[in-house]
Amino acid sequence: MVDWKDRSAGYLVNQVARIFERGLSARIRPLGLTTGAFPALLELWEREGLTQKQLVERLDIEQATMANTLSRMERDGLIRREKDPSDGRVQRVYLTDTSRALRDAAIAAAEAENADRLGGLTAAERDRFVTLLNKVIAHSRRTSA
């Protein structure tokens, strides 16, 4: 008999997320990175100078979680925060040389984790899986906005 949880997309996505998180954590820990900081770094490697609010919106996480993450990243020498020259109430987040230097190794670690976890799928299945995940995310953003 197939259990309900074996057919529940939410349950299964949660299981898959935890599997990926454990694997990625093990791969980036030697670089001095955590899976909490990694999404913020991905955004900042793409575009530096974002505000905390912009990071919250892009990563769809709670403001308090982002504040704590940025504090740890600053403590660990991965980012620096500067007041916006046109609005002193706003702080912009910039990478340090340390975090810039980690970019290629961290992305390679994530790519290796993805390849390992999706290794049981054909190339077409991997592409379809990622396409469907993106579709679920896009739909969720449209309907919860």
Residue-wise pLDDT for 21-32, tens only, equals 999 999 999 999
Q: Please name the amino acid found at residue 121.
A: L
Report the top-level CATH class of 4-107+121-144.
mainly alpha
The two three-digit tokens of residue 134, written as one number: 């993106």
C-alpha triplet 14, 47, 67: angle, nearest 5°: 55
Residue-wise pLDDT for 81-110, tens only, equals 999 888 888 899 999 999 999 999 999 999
Residue spans per domain, the chain = 4-107+121-144
- What's the pTM value of the predicted model, to 2 decimals? 0.88
CB-based burial label for 78 (10 Å; 0-12, 13-18, 19+):
buried
Separation between Cα atoms, residue 56 and residue 21, nearest integer Å: 20
